[in-house]
Amino acid sequence: MPRSLLGEEDRRRIAAAIRDVESRTSGELVTIVARTSDSYAAFPLLAAAFLALLTPAVAWIAAPDLDPLDVYTVQLTVFIVVAAAALWRPLRMRLVPLAVRRRQASRLAREQFHALGLDQTRGRTGILLFVSVAERYVEILADRGIDEKVPLGTWKEIVAAFTRQVRERKIADGFVGALTACGALLIAHFPRADDDRNELPDVLIEL
């Protein structure tokens, strides 16, 4: 089983920050951290195939008299070595276009938003704070009840600061800071009602 991305103390800090915000606002906040949003399994094979296809041209330019069987052997070796090397996640992620990484991370965030019922809270005040570490991707998704009251682009500055901390591997600090900032914004529009009840888990969910 893979080691947890965050230690127990960091998880407690995040849970405490969620409870603090929800004690002052009717917003329902959920935090998710994913190791990666996709396996991107096709990209090592595509890179290996592309370089293997180039191998004969390079080989015959370098050594015109090379035997075709030797060229095939080199070609096969290139394919195996590149495909194996690209299984290493940091290298594999470099092979994946930025647009693809962002699309997959955004897709996973939206899947989790609906799967966890953030679109079904009583006041439609669900908020998801989502991080996908391999893609260094951060997104805040808010349900309709919140989006109708907060200005367009409300989350942009919070996401930017959060993303910087994720890139510095300060994931827990990023979550706590973003939760605090979200709470400050929500308290004005969504103060906690007397009959408010906790509808969603106050813990960090790790995928």
Q: What is the pLDDT of residues 146-203, one digit of tens each?
A: 888 877 777 888 999 999 999 999 999 999 999 998 888 888 788 787 766 766 778 8
With a pLDDT cut of 70, the percent of the chain lying above it is 94
Longest dimension (CA), the chain: 85
Name the residue among 175, 169, 99, 107 with its Cα closest to residue 133.
Answer: 169
Q: Which domains does the chain have, with CATH numbers?
A: 8-38+98-206 (3.10.310.50), 42-95 (no CATH)
When pLDDT is cut at 50, 70 and 90, the band that residue 96 belongs to is: confident
- Is this model's pTM higher than 0.75 or not? yes
Any idea of the CA torsion for 179, 183, 189, 193, to the nearest 10 degrees? Answer: 110
pLDDT of 30? 92
When pLDDT is cut at 50, 70 and 90, the band that residue 60 belongs to is: low
